[in-house]
């Protein structure tokens, strides 16, 4: 209990996109919290779709990197 700081109870984990932006990845979907392209904080509704509400950018899954590792 409490050993996995980057994991939550629903299995989601934070990710970045080539070191930029911020998202929340679960087994089934991506929530885009901060856009890696325009660096804007996303709105809740569009974040849930995994698309930036400001520039309509949709990060590619292959660009995801785990967040919280060294560096």
Among 30, 32, 35, 47, binds Zn ion (CB under 5 A): 35
Residue 46 interacting with Zn ion (CB under 5 A): no
C-beta of 12 vs 51, nearer to Zn ion: 51
CA distance 34 to 52: 8
Residue 67 interacting with Zn ion (CB under 5 A): no
CA distance 16 to 38: 14
Among 16, 30, 52, 59, binds Zn ion (CB under 5 A): 52
Residue 48 Cα distances to 1, 5, 20, 33, angstroms: 28, 22, 18, 9
Closest CA to 36 of 69, 65, 7, 6: 65
Using the contact rule CB under 5 A, the part of the chain among 1-9, 11-19, 28-36, 58-66 near Zn ion is: 28-36
Residue 17 interacting with Zn ion (CB under 5 A): no
């Amino acid at each position: 209990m409490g050993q996995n700081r980057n994991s939550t109870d629903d299995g989601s984990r934070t990710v970045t996109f080539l070191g930029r932006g911020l998202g929340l990845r679960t087994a089934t979907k991506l929530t885009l919290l901060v856009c890696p392209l325009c660096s804007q904080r996303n709105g809740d509704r569009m974040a849930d779709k995994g698309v930036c509400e400001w520039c309509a950018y949709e990060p590619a899954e292959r660009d995801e990197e785990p967040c919280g590792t060294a560096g």
